[in-house]
Each structure stands twice: as C-alpha cells, then as structure tokens.
C-alpha cells in the first residue's frame, strides 16, 4: 500500500519522465549505431542469429583476402616462370644451332658464352620475390634466397663462369584457407619448378637383415612415414609406396639396398625425424640414404649412395660445357634432350600454377556472391529501420515534451518548494 503524501505526485511524475527519457535515449542510440540490438534482452533470438552471421561474415572476408593474396602470389610466380620458359627456349635454339655441324669451334664457344649469360638470368628469375617481398620459389623458407650461384673457371670458357647452382630452399608446405576446411597450396618450391630429371637415390648398404630397433619416423618430401619396431626393408618400401609422397621405392636386386625414385622431376627431400618420441631413430641413415639431416636445406646424401637426376641448371651447364668443348654429338643428343626435359617439367609446373590461379579466382567470385547475402541476413536481424526509428523518435519527443508541459502546470515550482 502506497502512502499518500504531498510528495507522491512529484515522485510519480519524475519516475515516468525518466522512463520516457530512457526510451528516447534508446531510440537515439539505435539510430546512431544503426542497430536495434543494444542488449541481448532487446531480442534474444535475433541477437543469437546476428552473432552467428557476424562470425561467418568475418570468416568470409578473411577468405576473400586470402584468395586475393594467393592470386597475386600465383600471378607473380606465373609471370616469372613464363620468363624462364622463354629463356630456356632460347637456350634450346642455340643448342639446335650448335648441333647442325656448320659452325666452327670458335662459334660454338661464343654460343656457350651466351648460354652462360642465359644461365645467370635463369638463376636470377629463380630468386625473384613476390609483391609481398617474400621469395616465390623458396617453399616455406620465404626469407631465404632459394638458389646460390657458384662461379669458377670452366675449361674453354675462362673465368667467372657458373659452375654450380645449389638449392637452399625448402618444400612447398604453406597453404591458405579459402573456405571452411578447404585449403589451397600457396607455394611451389624451386626444387620442383627448376628441375629437369626424375631423381634416383641408390643406397650402397645391403639391408637384407635390417630391422628397425624402435618405433620411429622419417620424412620424404615433407610427408611423414611411421615405422614400427621390427620393420624390415620390404615393409619400409611398402609404407613409402603407400604414402602420398611423390616418391616410389624398391629394392635393388644387386646391392639389396633401398632405391628411391621420384614420380616426377623434382628434388627429393629426405630426413629422419628429429622431434618427439621418434627422434632417436635413424632409418634413412641406417639404410645409407643420407649421412645426416638437411644441411642448408638440402639433403646430405650418404657418400656410398649414388644420386642421379639433375636440375634445369645442371642441364644448361652440361650443354654449355659441351659447346666449349665443341662436342656436337653430345649437343645434338644429350644436350638437347636435357633441355627438353627441363622445358617439359617447367611447362607442367606453369600449368599447375595456372590452375591454382584459376581456382583462386573462382573462389573469389563465389565469396563475393556469398558475402552480400550474409550481410543482408545480418541486416535483417540487427539493423534498425530508419523510417520507423525516425517516426518513433518524433512521437516519443512529442510525448516527452507534452509530459514536461503537463508536469510544469501540475507541479508549479515556488519558493516554498525549495525552503521546505
């Protein structure tokens, strides 16, 4: 029961005026923020939907940025690979010219000098950086120059000649997410792009009686292959062949050792596990494939192992040296054949990057169709109707002004009101 007193009308008027002011402030806040959801209690169901839409919209916008970054990355790599293809085509033209038998030894040497300069250009292209200043062909070693050029003296060619090009990059393990749970391979390593022949590694260790002492693992081209205690060489070969690594294994019938062969032209990367419970195993070292793990990001092959399969640079160097020697038979056979292998591999890698670029563009188009739909759904749940809000604001302002005028007439302020 309320106690009736002379202060009761004043208290009631102030209470209802404050409620009107609160409503007026709420409408003004909705207009300012363009959202009708100031608090969860305003509309719990709409607030729950809006939170999910906002989260999904943020992910879509992140995916869109990823596709744009991937597209720029692929575009830069694609352009430089096309330039390398043009340089290699010029090398092949010189090889065909030098093999026709109509040029003197001095002319062949001049062709060799030009090929040496083209070789330097190929090395420069292999060390190009993208628009984000990161190496394009170093795999996930994006701040490491992937290829190191070693110069020296070549018989018949003089000094300051390229004698070796070493790969110091890593494998292509970086990926970018273009939708929930869907990833796009971002990098392509120089060990894939600038290679020519399928690699083969012949171990010199007879592994007939070999047994794995303890559970462990090793890596081929970044793919982990687990082994169990007691595994024999045939079991290891089977596990390699069943893995997704682009490497096939078999047993050499003569040496009874392990043989690894790439399924495509690329540099095979082999490592024993150095982390976790499997760190104590040394399967590849025991089998005579490697002497130790990666040194300068390149496999450290065992001295007893025979390694075959060269890079694009090896093919060009071999051709150049044949030109300096004047060996037209070699130029017309193995020289041109090696360049053709490099061109075939480079062409397939260009097609691979082009297909990734096309997929990134398709993903970008899809995302730009989906983002407006999700934005519209979010607006439907949370956005305020400016027409309705403006009408409510005007009506509330009018009612509040009328209330103030009425209160001023009902509760006139006098000097006695302040003295009591």
Query: What's the longest Cα–Cα distance across the chain?
Result: 125
* pLDDT at residue 333, as a whole number: 93
| Statement: residue 409 has pLDDT above 90 | no
Dist CA 198 CA 218 (whole Å): 21
Q: Is the pLDDT of residue 289 over 80?
A: yes
Banded model confidence at residue 91, pLDDT cuts 50, 70, 90: very high
Q: Would the pLDDT of 105 be above 80? A: yes
CA–CA separation, 63 and 52 (whole Å): 17
Sheet containing 247-251, strands listed edge to edge, beginning at the edge strand earlier in sequence: 247-251, 258-262, 200-202, 306-308
Question: What integer best gives the mean pLDDT of the chain?
Answer: 84
Instruction: Indicate the burial class of 414 (C-beta count within 10 angstroms; 0-12, 13-18, 19 or more).
Output: exposed
Q: CA-to-CA distance for 134 and 407, rounded, in angstroms? A: 72
Alpha-carbon gap, residue 181 to 295, rounded angstroms: 34
Express as a percent the part of the chain with pLDDT over 90: 53
Would you give the end-to-end CA distance of the chain in angstroms?
26
Q: Which residues contact 24 (CB under 8 A, 6 or more apart)?
A: 393, 396, 397, 400
pTM beyond 0.85: the answer is no
Are 98 and 108 in contact, with CB atoms under 8 Å apart? yes
The predicted structure's pLDDT at residue 1? 47
pLDDT of residue 169: 82
Cα(239)–Cα(284) distance, integer angstroms: 13
* Angstrom distance (rounded) from CA 186 to CA 232: 37
Determine the Cα–Cα distance for residues 95 and 337; give it in Å rounded to an integer.
10
The residue whose two tokens read 């540099």 is 267
If one compares 140 and 371, the residue with the highest pLDDT of the two is 371
Give me the domains of the chain, ranges plus CATH numbers: 54-194+310-370 (1.20.1330.10), 200-308 (3.30.70)
pLDDT, residue 387, reads 63
* Residue 311 dihedral angles phi and psi, to the nearest 5°: -90, 175
- The predicted pLDDT at position 5 comes to 55
Tens digits of per-residue pLDDT, 193-205? 999 999 999 999 9
Strand 223-227 to 216-220 pairing: antiparallel
């Amino acid at each position: 029961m309320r106690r009736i007193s002379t202060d009761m009308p004043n208290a009631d008027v102030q209470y209802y005026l404050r409620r009107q002011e609160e409503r007026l402030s709420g409408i003004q806040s909705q207009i300012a923020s363009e959202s009708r959801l100031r608090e969860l209690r305003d509309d719990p169901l709409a607030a729950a939907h809006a939170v999910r839409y906002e989260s999904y919209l943020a992910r879509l916008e992140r995916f869109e940025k990823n596709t744009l970054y991937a597209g720029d990355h692929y575009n830069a790599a694609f352009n430089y690979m096309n330039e390398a293809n043009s340089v290699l085509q010029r090398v092949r033209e010189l090889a065909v010219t030098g093999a026709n038998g109509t040029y003197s030894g001095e002319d062949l040497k001049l062709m060799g000098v030009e090929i040496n300069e083209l070789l330097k250009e190929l090395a420069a292209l292999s060390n190009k950086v993208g628009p984000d200043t990161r190496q394009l062909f170093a795999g996930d070693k994006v701040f490491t120059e992937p290829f190191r050029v070693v110069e020296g003296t070549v018989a018949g060619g003089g000094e300051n000649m390229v004698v070796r090009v070493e790969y110091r990059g890593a494998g292509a393990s970086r990926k970018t997410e273009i939708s929930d749970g869907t990833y796009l391979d971002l990098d392509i390593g120089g060990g894939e792009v600038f290679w020519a022949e399928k690699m083969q590694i012949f171990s010199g260790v007879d592994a007939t009686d070999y047994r794995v002492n303890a559970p462990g693992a090793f890596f081929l081209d970044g793919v982990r292959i687990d082994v169990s205690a007691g595994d024999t060489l045939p079991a290891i070969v089977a596990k390699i062949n069943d893995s997704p690594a682009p490497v096939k294994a078999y047993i050499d019938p003569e040496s009874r050792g392990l043989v690894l062969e790439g399924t495509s032209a690329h540099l095979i990367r082999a490592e024993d596990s150095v982390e976790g419970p499997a760190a104590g195993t040394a399967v590849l070292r025991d089998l005579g494939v490697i002497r130790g793990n990666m040194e300068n990001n390149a496999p450290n092959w065992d001295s007893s192992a025979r390694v075959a399969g060269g890079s694009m640079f090896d093919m060009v160097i071999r051709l150049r040296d044949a030109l300096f020697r004047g060996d037209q038979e070699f130029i017309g056979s193995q020289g041109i054949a090696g360049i053709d292998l490099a061109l075939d591999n480079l062409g397939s890698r260009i097609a691979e990057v082009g297909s990734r670029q096309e997929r990134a563009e398709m993903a970008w188009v899809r995302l730009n169709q989906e983002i407006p739909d999700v934005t519209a759904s979010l607006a439907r749940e949370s956005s305020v109707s400016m027409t309705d809000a403006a009408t409510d604001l005007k009506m509330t302002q009018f009612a509040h002004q009328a209330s103030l005028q009425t209160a001023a007439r009902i509760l006139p302020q006098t000097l006695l009101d302040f003295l009591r």
